Structures are given as C-alpha cells and as structure tokens.
Chains A and B, each alone.
Chain A
Amino acid sequence: MSTSTPIVNSANSTPEKRELTTKPRFSDKVFRGVATAGGLSSLVILGLILIFLGYQGFQVLRSEGIGFITGSNWQVVQDNAGNTDLEASTFGIAAMLVGTLLCAALAVSIAVPISVLCALYLTFYAPQFLKKMMVAIIDLMAAFPSILFGMWGFFILMPHVEYWAKLIHRYFSWIPLFKMEIPVYTRSPFVAGVVLAIMIIPIITSVSREIFSQTPLDRIQAAYALGATRWSMIRAVVIPYGKSGVVGGAMLGLGRAMGETVAVYTVLNLVYQINWHVLIGAGGNVASMILLKFGEAGPTETRALMAAGLVLFILTLIVNSIANAIVSRTGGKGR
C-alpha cells in the first residue's frame, strides 16, 4: 500500500523535462540534403545540356553569328589537308527550322480537332466499358516507340497520304500553302505532318480528357437543369472551362512534334531549301537533319550539329514551358 509513496515524495526522482525542439535530427538533415540534391539534379542536367552543347557549338556559333539561324546553306569546305575550313564553310539551319515548324504546325492543326472531339466523346458520350477500353488503348499508343510510327508511316500510311495530297492539290491548289509547280508528292512535309499528328493525338487527347473531366459538376448539372442538350452544355460550360487547357495540350504536342527524329527521318525527304509548300516532296527537320548528317560528319561539322541541337533544345524548352504553365494553371481550379 505504501510502495508508491517514496516515489511521489522524493523530489529527486521526477523525470527531467524533455527538451522540446523543432530542430531536425541529424538523420533528417542528411535525408533532406540527399533528397534536395536528387531534386536539384534535373536543374543540373538541364544546365549541363546547355553548357556542353553551347561549349561544343560555340566555335561554329561565333563564326556564323546570327546567320546560323537565318542562313539556309549547309556547306562544308575542306582545305588541302582534308581539314574543314571553318571560315569558308557555311552552316545555317533556317531551312530546317522552317521545316520543323511547318511539319509540327501541320501536325498540331490536324491532331487538335481530332483529339478534342475524341476527348469530348470519351468524357461525355461514351458508355463506361468503351471509355475504359479506349483510354487504355490510347495510353498504350502514347508508349509506342517512334521508330514504329516511322516504319508504319513509310510502308502503310504514305501511299494513302500521297493520294490525299493529290486530291488536296487538285481541289485546293489556289491556296498558296498547297501550291506546287512540279508535282512530286513523295515524302513531303504533308506526309510527315500526318505521321506526327498520329503520334501526338494520344498526348493531346489525354491532356484534354484530364481537363474536361475536371469541369465543375455543378455547372454541368445546372446547364442540364436549364434544359440544355449535351452539345449546348459542352459549348456553354466545358469549352469555356477547358479552352486554355486544350491550348496547353496542343503546345505539349507541338513540342513533341518539333523534337521528333526517327519518324520524320523515315517519311521526309530532307532538302536544303526553305519550302513553305507542304505538298512538295522537299522539307526539313532539325532533329532528323542531325541524325542524317551525323554519320559522315567531320569534327567541325559535328560541332555545327551540336549547335543545331542547342537551338532545337532551347526551342522545345520554351514551347514546353509555356505549355506546362498553361496546363497547370487550368488544372488547379477544378471541382
């Protein structure tokens, strides 16, 4: 009965107050340091890409100046000893830049309507089983390797697209974009654009679907309650809400289309001239030009290719950053 009294009475045995602190322990400090280092690695890698491509391409960029982007000549001049003469050679990627933008813009303008309609169907029209199946199939398509699109595009799609190109030329050749003097339909930017469009449809579809499915449910129900049909609901509620998200998705697709290498290489005839006419079989793409020239390039030309890679990298970085900024701003304010 009296066993507990000594403990209560003795002043010495009360446990000391534990020191309360919000300071992280040593293990936490290490952990946070490691995680932060891991997180910062993306910054480091992107920075290193800029630095090394810039360093390797510096010589060429300095000797060409702004002409590297505005000129459309790619000529390697060698002196008697077989070394490349940097002063006499000209490196300009304007033709390839124009080709890149042309193919990518064409791809986006074909892919966006299809993807948006597809996303609308999947979000608001499709029965549940069809929706699940199609979402899985479209996600799978996003994981298809680009060489697959390249070979399929070359062997299966190209004959069809050439036929479409002929039809377009016959009926729409009064539009400057579709004009051509000499009819050469093979391996044109149009073909590349169609192949790229098929590649980016899954990306734009999944971004649009994500945005559409975040449309506030109360607004949808309100529209229905006011007697809207499905289409008028979509026009009044979904499209105003998801517009900027779709723009962001389209720009993500644009970024992917601009950086595409192998698929474009197989279906596009690389010709060194600025060509705005999409149906003519002569076009360009910075990425596939790099792949094409890399095999037989000497040291100096390789440096020029690095500089071209730098330009492509910066271009896609800008497009992707804008796209991501738009998408993340839209996605936040869901239901």
Chain B
Amino acid sequence: MSTPTLKPTRPWKLTPKQRGLIVLNLVIASALSYLIVLLTPMKGKLAYLSIFFIATIVINFAENYFKRGLAAAKDSIATSFAAAGLIVAVVPIFSILFTIFERGRAGLNFGLFLHDMKLNGPNDPLNQGGLLHALIGSGIMVGIALLISLPIGILTAIYLTEIKGIYSRPIKFLVQAMSGVPSIVAGLFILSAIVFPITKSSSGLMGGFALAILMIPTIARTSEEVLLLIPNDLREAGVALGGTQWRTISLIVVPAAKSGLITATILGLARVAGETAPLVLVSGGGDAVNTNPFQSPMGSLPFYIWKGFTFGTTESIARSWAGIFVLLSLIFILFIAARTLSGSRSSK
C-alpha cells in the first residue's frame, strides 16, 4: 500500500496565467514599438529598442499598480532596469565573440601554425605565412614571466597568510597598488632600468620581465585568497606533530592548496598573455622564429595582431583577426582550466 506523498509546493512559481500575461506584455510592447517607429520620424534599431524598453516598463507598471499597488509597481520598474543592466553588460561580450568568430575564420588555416612571416609581408595572401614565430615568442616570454613571478607571487602570499609579519598590512596594500600599474608603465620601467642602461637592444627576455611585473600581483592576490581558505586545523595539526613552520607549510599547507595555486598561476597567465603595450615597447617584435630570448627581437601574438592592425590593409587586418582568434582560444582554454580546477569555489 503506497502512502500518498505530498508534493512540495512552490508558491513563488509562476502560474500558466501569469506566464501568459508576461508574454502578452512583451507582445504588446513589441507591437507598440513597431507602430511608433512606423508612424513617427524616429527610425533605426535604437528607436525600436528604447521604445520597446519604455513600453515594457509602462505596461508592467500599470499592471502592477492596479493589481497590487504603488510599491509593487515601483518594484517592477526596478526589476526591468536591473535586467536591462545585465543585458547591456552582456551584449558586448557576445558581439565580441561573434565578431572574432566571423572575421577570424577567413584567416584561419593549418599553415598558420607551421610558418612564420620571415618571407612574407602582412599584405600577402592569407594562405602564405603564419604565426608560428608569434606563438613561440609568446610562449617563451610568458614562460620567463612565469618563472620570475610564480616564486615571488607565492612567497608574497605565504608571507601575508602564514607569517603575518609586521609588514603584512603595507605589503597587502602595495600588492593591490601594484595590480593597478598600467601596462605601459611596466614597459617603460624595463626600458629605463634595463634596456637603455645595460642591454641597449630589445629582446624576448625584456618582454618576459615586463610581463612578470604585471603577473606578480595577480598570482599573489589569488594565492593569498586560496591559502586563506586552508583550514587552520591543518596548520595546528602539523605543528602539533612537531613540525617546524617551514615543514608545516611546505609539506601540509601548500600541497593542500595545490589546485588553488595552480588556478592562481593560470589566471596570471591569462592576464598577461594578451598584453600588448609593454611588448611593443621592449620586445622588438621580429618576423622570424627566434628561440633565443637573450638576443634579437622576438615576436609575440599580441605584437602580431598589433602589427597587422596598424598596417591597415584588408589582408593584414584579416591576419590580425585570425591572430585574435588564436589568442582568445588560448585564453579561453586557460580560463576553463582554471575554473575546472578551482571547482565551485569561485563560482559562488
């Protein structure tokens, strides 16, 4: 004999009648906007959208006012505006992604990853030349930046969360200030401190240094957040077992935070992979594959895009879009990797 089970009620769920009303509102608003654009001198997409928006608000306001009173009517206006805010914020993203897909497709072919631009100008047909040099250069420079900023970033985070010395507050403040350093200033700094007085020529190493300056704060701040999430019980357990602070942190805390620290690193990579301005200043931007970061100019993906854009012909701009397609795909992969690793932590 089966006992009847109660279904949980959901009083906030919309009834079919309410749903119908919402659809009806939208239909009326669209009809209104169509009519007004037809009959008045206001024309264009902007007119359709703004009239539709205003009409929706007015209809909702009227409906709620007569049904539930003024307060509910005001609430409906606020809801419409908040939703409009989200739509306005998100539309550019989809426009950007769509544009890159649409325009980047033309320049994409497999040869892109096999050739460099040593023998080709940016104006050559799209099936000649490629961005191998840029990919390699970007990889090397970002790698150098990673080698420098990973230890510094994680040590900073450890200092802020584990040691908590007297400088904690000022260092926290400075790291935050550092994350706001404009990218071009990082490039100028490397120019003024290393390129002009010492090396006198641009190279991939200089690009790596400039990127490291931009990468340190990202890694430090994210790692700090990750280390703060490690429960204190683990630290206490380590110390209670007789571990020194060094052994507790290196054998317990950091391994426990490993996936979070990797996320921090990936976010740092994604942050600097597309930096253009400092690389234009210090890396030189060669057209041939160059695997030696200490000598001669080195190309990079952002520089490749930049060069195509400033050259300004149809072919070169198509090359740029293809370059952006590749760059954004890389950033996308990094981003997804970071989110999968960090799991549900950051998606609260």
B323 to chain A: closest residue by CB: A147
Residue of A nearest to B154 (CB): A38
Q: What are the residues of chain B within 8 A of A48 when measuring CB–CB?
A: 189, 193
Interface size, chain A (Cβ < 8 Å)? 100
Closest 7 CB pairs of A and B: A145-B274, A38-B155, A117-B85, A259-B182, A39-B159, A320-B180, A121-B82
Residues of A within 8 A of B216 (CB): 41-42, 45
Besides A152-B99, A157-B92, 10 more A-B contacts (Cβ < 8 Å) are A38-B158, A42-B171, A56-B196, A121-B85, A148-B96, A151-B324, A152-B95, A205-B89, A259-B185, A316-B185
Contact between A287 and B182 (Cβ–Cβ < 8 Å)? yes
Interface centre among B90, B156, B277 (most CB of A within 10 A): B277
Q: Are A144 and B96 in contact (CB under 8 A)?
A: yes
Contact B155 A39 (CB under 8 A): yes
Q: Could you tell me if A261 and B183 are in contact, using CB atoms closer than 8 angstroms?
A: yes
Give the interface segment out of B2-10, B107-115, B116-124, B301-309: B301-309
Chain A binder among B228-236, B287-295, B326-334: B326-334
* Residue contact A312 to B185, C-beta cutoff 8 Å: yes
Say yes or no for B72: interface residue by CB 8 A criterion: yes
Instruction: List the one stretch of A25-33, A79-87, A88-96, A273-281 in contact with chain B.
Output: A25-33
- 28 A-B pairs within 8 Å (CB atoms) are namely A32-B165, A38-B154, A39-B156, A42-B174, A42-B178, A42-B220, A46-B177, A48-B193, A49-B186, A115-B89, A117-B81, A117-B82, A134-B90, A143-B270, A143-B331, A147-B324, A148-B100, A152-B96, A154-B309, A213-B348, A229-B71, A230-B79, A231-B79, A234-B78, A259-B181, A313-B182, A316-B185, A320-B180
Report if A309 contacts B (CB, 8 A). yes
Q: Are B85 and A35 in contact (CB under 8 A)?
A: no
**Per-residue contact bits, chain B 186-204, to A (CB 8 Å; 1 contact, 0 not):** 1011011100100000000
Judged by a CB distance under 8 angstroms, whether B147 is at the interface is: no
- Interface residue? B29 (CB, 8 A): no
Task: Kindly state whether residue B1 has any CB partner on chain A within 8 Å.
Answer: no
A35 to B167: give the CA distance in the assembly, Å: 12
Question: Which residues of A lie under 8 Å from residue B175 when comparing CB positions?
Answer: 42
How close is B141's CB to chain A, nearest CB, in angstroms?
14
Per-residue CB proximity of B244-280 to A under 8 Å, as 1/0? 1111010000000000000000010011011111001
Interface: B88 (CB within 8 A): yes
Q: Is the CB of B85 within 8 A of A260?
A: no
A41, A49, A117 — which one has the most chain B CB atoms within 10 A of its CB? A41
Residues of chain B lying within 8 A (CB to CB) of residue A323: 180
Query: How far, in whole Å, are A227 and B92 apart by their CA atoms in the complex?
Result: 38
A184 contacts the other chain (Cβ, under 8 Å)?
A: no
Q: Are A25 and B244 in contact (CB under 8 A)?
A: yes
CB contact between A56 and one of B78, B174, B192 (< 8 Å): that residue: B192
Q: Decide: A115 near B85, CB < 8 A? Known: A38-B155, A155-B99.
A: yes
- The answer on a CB contact under 8 Å between B277 and A261 is yes
In the complex, chain B residues whose CB is within 8 Å of the CB of A148 = 96, 100, 274, 324, 327-328
Complex CA gap A306/B191 in Å reads 9
How would you classify the secondary structure of chain B's contact residues: helix, strand, loop or mixed? helix
Give complex CA distance A147, B328 in Å: 11
Indicate if B83 sits at the interface (CB-CB under 8 A): yes
B236 to chain A, nearest CB (A): 16
Chain A contacts of B171 at CB under 8 A? 39-40, 42-43
Whose C-beta in chain A lies nearest to the C-beta of B159? A39
Complex interface: chain A residues within 8 A of B96 (CB): 144, 148-149, 152
Chain A residue at minimal CB-CB distance from B347: A132
Most chain A CB within a 10 A radius of its CB, from B184, B189, B267, B281? B184
What is the CA–CA distance of A205 and B173 in the complex, to the nearest angstrom? 22
CA distance A49 to B83 in the complex (A): 43
B173 CB contact (under 8 Å) in A37, A316, A321: A321
Q: Which residues of A contact B275 (CB under 8 A)?
A: 145-146
Complex Cα–Cα for A141 and B335 (A): 11
Contact B305 A316 (CB under 8 A): no
For window 37-75 of B, CB contacts with A under 8 Å fall at: 44, 46, 71-72, 74-75
Q: Closest residue of chain B to A227, judged by CB? A: B71
CA distance A313 to B93 in the complex (A): 29
B283 at the A interface (CB under 8 A): no
**Contact B246–A117 (Cβ < 8 Å):** no
Q: Kindly supply a per-residue 1/0 record for chain A positions 98-125, scoring 1 wherever the CB is within 8 Å of any chain B CB and 0 otherwise.
A: 0000000000000001111110111011
Chain B: minimal CB distance from A44 (Å): 10
B16 at the interface (CB under 8 A from A): no
Binds B, one of A3-11, A67-75, A175-183, A250-258: A250-258
Across the interface, which residues of A come within 8 angstroms of B100, CB to CB? 148, 152
Q: B213 at interface (Cβ–Cβ under 8 A)?
A: yes
A215 to chain B, nearest CB (A): 14
Contact B74–A229 (Cβ < 8 Å): yes
Is B213's CB under 8 angstroms from A45's CB?
yes
CA distance A157 to B96 in the complex (A): 10
Could you tell me the distance between the alpha carbons of A290 and B182 in the complex, rounded to whole angstroms? 12
Q: Is the CB of B180 within 8 A of A230?
A: no
**Residue A266 interfacial (CB < 8 Å):** yes
Contact pick for B88, options A27, A114, A316, A320, CB 8 Å: A114
A38 with B192: CB separation less than 8 A? no
| A129-172 to B contact mask, C-beta < 8 Å, 1/0 | 00010111111110111111111101111000001100100000
Which A residues lie within 8 Å of B347 (CB)?
Answer: 132, 135-136
Docked Cα-Cα span, A25 to B274, in Å, equals 44
